[in-house]
Amino acid sequence: MKIIRQKKDLQKIINKIKTFSFVPTMGGLHKGHEILIKRAKKRNSNILVSIFVNPKQFNSRKDFKSYPRNFKKDVKILKKLKVKYLYCPNYKDIFSFKTNNKIYMHWFSKRLCGKHRPGHFKGVLDVVNRLLEIIKPKYIFLGKKDFQQLTLIKKHIKKNNIKTSIISCNTLRDKNFLPYSSRNINLNKSNKKLASIVFNTIKNEKILIKRKKMQDINFSSLKRKILKLGVKKIDYIESINLDNLKRAKKYNENFNIFSAFFINNVRLIDNF
Ligand code: PAF
C-alpha cells in the first residue's frame, strides 16, 4: 500500500490511474469501514482511502482532540484489505488551495445534527468537496448511518455537476443492534449495553407506530423512557420522511427514526 501525504504526489498517481473508488474516513477504522472498502473493491480495484481528522467539522476543540486516532491499527486493517492507496494529508495540503466549486448547503443541513452542531455540515462539505476536487474519483462510498451527511453530499455533488457517483452503503451493526462507529471505542461494556438497549427501544417504537397505524407520530414518552434508562442527554429523536426529508407525521410514510444522544459524553447517532 502506498501512503501518500501530499497532493502533489497523489496527483502523479491520479494522472496514471484515472479511475478510483474513493472511501473518505477520519481513521479509527472499524468493521463498518471494512464493508465500505469491500463494496468499493467490487466496483474497481483501485481503492483510495483517505484518513484526515477534519478540524472544521468539529464544533468543539475537546471533541476534536478526543476523536479516536490509531494510525498503526488503521494501516494494518487497510493492508489486510489490500487497499492500494492511502492519502493522509495535513491541514495545509487540504485547505490551502482555492476551490472551483461553491459549497451548496441544502435546507436539510439546518435540521437534526445541523441544529445541534453549528458549522458541522459546512465543515464536512468543505473537506469532501476539496477531496473530490483533488481526487476526482469515479465513485465515492459513504455509509447510511450518517444519512444527513450522505444526503447533503449528494445535493452538493448534484448542484455542482461533479462527475463522481455516490454509492451509499447500509449500516453495519453488531449482534446487539449497535451500529459500528469510531466513537464506540470510548464506550465501556456497560455503556455499549445501554446504547444497544436504547437503539432497540427506538426500533420497537417504529414497529409500534406501524402496528398501531399512528396518525400523529410523537416521541415525548419515548424520550422520557430513554432518559429513565440512564441516558444523560438527548439531542433529538425525530421521524424523517426519506423521500421529502420533512418530519414524518404518519405511520404509512416512508420514514426512519433519527436519533442523537449522549452516553458517557460520547455522542451517538443512528437512523433506521
Ligand atoms: O464520515 C466521516 O468520517 C467524515 O465526515 C468524512 C466524510 C470523512 C469527512 O471528513
Query: What's the rounded Cα separation, in Å, for the pair 190 and 99?
Result: 45
Pocket probe mutation, ligand 1, options 56, 124, 168, max atoms within 8 Å of Cβ: 124
Q: Which protein residue's CA is at the shortest distance from atom 8 of ligand 1?
A: 25
Active site annotation includes 33: yes
**pLDDT score recorded for residue 143:** 98
Is 90 exceeded by the pLDDT of residue 204? yes
**pLDDT score recorded for residue 44:** 83
Stated pTM of the model: 0.97
pLDDT band at 222 (very low <50, low <70, confident <90, very high): very high
The sheet with strand 266-271 has its strands ordered as 233-241, 255-263, 266-271
At 267 the three-state DSSP class reads strand
Q: In terms of Cα–Cα distance, which of 127, 112, 132 is closest to 238?
A: 112
Is 90 exceeded by the pLDDT of residue 6? yes
* 57 CA closest ligand 1 atom index: 10
Q: In terms of Cα–Cα distance, which of 13, 147, 16, 152 is closest to 86?
A: 13
Average pLDDT, the chain: 97
Q: What is the pLDDT of residues 8-56, one digit of tens each?
A: 999 999 999 989 999 999 999 999 999 999 999 998 879 999 999 999 9
Q: Assess whether the C-beta atom of 195 lies below 6 angstroms from ligand 1.
A: no
Q: Assess whether the C-beta atom of 152 lies below 6 angstroms from ligand 1.
A: no
Q: Which protein residue's CA is at the shortest distance from atom 3 of ligand 1?
A: 25
Average pLDDT over residues 250-257: 98
Percentage of the chain surpassing pLDDT 90? Answer: 98
C-alpha cell recorded at residue 261? 444522544
**pLDDT score recorded for residue 178:** 98
Average pLDDT over residues 224-230: 97
Q: Which protein residue's CA is at the shortest distance from atom 6 of ligand 1?
A: 25
* 50 CA closest ligand 1 atom index: 8
Q: Assess whether the C-beta atom of 124 lies below 6 angstroms from ligand 1.
A: yes
State the catalytic residue, choosing from 33, 106, 120, 156: 33
Average pLDDT over residues 91-120: 98
The sheet with strand 21-25 has its strands ordered as 2-4, 85-87, 47-51, 21-25, 139-143, 165-169
Q: What is the residue type of 10?
A: L
**How many A from CA of 183 to the centre of ligand 1?**
13
**pLDDT score recorded for residue 18:** 82
**How many A from CA of 188 to the centre of ligand 1?**
24
Average pLDDT over residues 158-181: 98
Residue 260: burial class (beta carbons within 10 Å; 0-12, 13-18, 19+): buried
**How many A from CA of 220 to the centre of ligand 1?**
31
Q: Which protein residue's CA is at the shortest distance from atom 5 of ligand 1?
A: 124
Query: What's the rounded Cα separation, in Å, for the pair 148 and 171?
Result: 13
